[in-house]
Amino acid sequence: MELRQKLILASGSPRRVDLLKQAGVEPARLMPMDLDETPQKSEHPRSLARRLSADKAKAAYEAIRQDVAWKDGYILAADTVVAVGRRILPKAEYLEEASSALHLLSGRSHWVFTGVCLIAPDGRLRQKIVETKVRFKRLSGYDIECYLASGQWRGKAGAYAIQGIAGTFVQKLVGSYTNVVGLPLFETVQMLAGEGYDVHTGWTEG
């Protein structure tokens, strides 16, 4: 890629990398930002996604700002939040957390919010919040037990990954599927193109 086409992804998520590659966009560098993702008091799920995506992009921008090799790079960050009403479900790290989240999601609708933040080479910041409504079927105790045994819930917001086994739980989805995976492709590519990134460059290389 040309220098102006260098894209820095402020994330270490393999899912986001795969989604970008699906769109023909390959990050030149991954820069996961280790930030405190604890929601602030009474913070709305949408606001949390907006704040964290911006914080990650700004942290990456500050980290490479003085590096001449990356001064013309684009910085892309995203954060996905799963919520039932205003209740934010954390990224499940423990079995008890995952079990509690799955019982809560069973047979009801929830929202997935992803904040996408792009910082262009000239320092301009653009941001978009994308939301998707997802309804799960009623999960039996055996469904939950077997899904927990799969381990696919670990580290996932809402304790599930829609691109895996949990895709069979989804009764209805309104909005962007890729948003639920972790990066809304349509909106992300539109933002990149709007800031002068040639999203077509990688289309003829594969």
Question: Tens of pLDDT along 21-52?
Answer: 999 999 999 999 989 888 999 999 999 999 99
Residue 206 has pLDDT above 60, yes or no: no
pLDDT tens-place string over residues 112-121: 999 999 999 9
Residue 1 has pLDDT above 80, yes or no: no
Cα 50 to its chain centre, rounded Å, is 11
Q: What are 157's two structure tokens?
A: 């917001």
- Is the separation of the CB atoms in 184 and 178 below 8 Å? yes
| pLDDT value at residue 4 | 52
Residue 2 has pLDDT above 50, yes or no: no
For residues 90 and 159, give the distance between their C-alpha atoms in angstroms, rounded to a whole number.
8
Length of the chain measured in residues: 206
- pLDDT > 90: percent of the chain: 84
Residue 5 has pLDDT above 90, yes or no: no
**Higher pLDDT residue, 137 or 63?**
137
Mean pLDDT confidence for 63-91: 91
Across 65-191, the runs of DSSP E, i.e. the strands, are 74-84, 87-89, 109-119, 125-136, 170-174
Mean pLDDT confidence for 182-206: 90
Quick check: is 79 catalytic? yes
Mean pLDDT confidence for 75-83: 97
Beta-bridged to residue 123, according to DSSP, are: none
What's the pLDDT band for 170 if we cut at 50, 70, 90?
very high
CA dihedral 146, 151, 152, 156 (to 10 degrees): 120
| pLDDT value at residue 203 | 85
Catalytic member of 18, 34, 36, 79: 79
**Higher pLDDT residue, 148 or 90?**
148
| pLDDT value at residue 147 | 98
| pLDDT value at residue 71 | 81
The overall average pLDDT reported for the chain is 93
